[in-house]
Amino acid sequence: MKTSIAFALIGSAAAFAPVQQGRVNTAIAGDARSPDGLGVDPGPLDLFDPLGLVEDADSFPRRRAVEIKHGRIAMAAFIGMMVQELGITFPGSLDLAGDVPFSSVLDDGMGFAALAKIPTLGLAQIALFGFLAETVAMPAGEYTGGPQNLPGGYDGSPPFIPGGYPNQIEDVDARDRALNVEIQNGRGAMLGVFGCMCHSMLDSCDHHFFYPITHN
């Protein structure tokens, strides 16, 4: 779990690291049924919105920013979980006394059971990181930003937290496709991480969510 968190932190830092450029206000040319033109599945789901959230134009920017942020963290976390499934963890212990080795956190599963093994101070550190991320690095109230003022973009806090990706995609069609790919992959990752956390707690699978692969 600690490795998952570490990968999430690295992924978050990489997502917002970059080159300062002059802001370009570029309109998104996407599906007109979505308030920001994004998030419409090109497959069978199409515009999947059973609750009619797209009709609430005032709160939609916040919902989109939250979705993109959670998707980015989930994608990084899923990679971290796969690495741990291979038995790769940090050396040493979670606590100063050396009573909780990193490898022992996964003994009863990589999901919710692993959280219970993290010392209280470790959980406090995670909460502190989340607070700083939500207030400084990736402000919760900043729904668009970056050089092109796009959903999920951040202006950063120079000189320590630059805003925007390097090598901005200027072609509108290519950029919109990349943004949609990120949203769709993020949605899949959020479901995947939750599914893996539940699956790894099953005794019948020996607490491995890749059981058919790792045990055959």
Confidence (pLDDT) at 96: 84
Residue pLDDT tens, the chain, 216 long = 444 444 444 444 434 333 333 333 344 557 888 888 888 888 778 888 888 888 888 899 999 999 999 999 999 999 988 888 787 888 999 888 888 898 888 777 777 788 888 989 989 999 999 998 888 888 888 888 888 888 888 887 776 676 776 788 889 889 999 999 999 999 999 999 998 888 777 776 666 666 555 555
What pLDDT, on the 0 to 100 scale, is given for residue 216? Answer: 55
Spatial distance between the Cα atoms of 60 and 23, rounded to a whole number of angstroms: 23
Hunting for tokens 């600690």 — which residue is that?
A: 2
Cis bond leading into 159, ω under 30°? yes
What is the per-residue pLDDT for 6?
46
- Alpha-carbon distance of 34 to 63, in angstroms, equals 12
pLDDT score at 129: 92
pLDDT tens across 62-121, in order? 999 999 999 999 999 999 888 887 878 889 998 888 888 988 887 777 777 888 889 899
CB-CB contact of 156 with 163 (8 Å): yes
pLDDT the model gives residue 108: 78
SS3 144: strand
Residue 198 one-letter amino acid: C
CB 24 within 8 A of CB 147: yes
SS3 150: strand
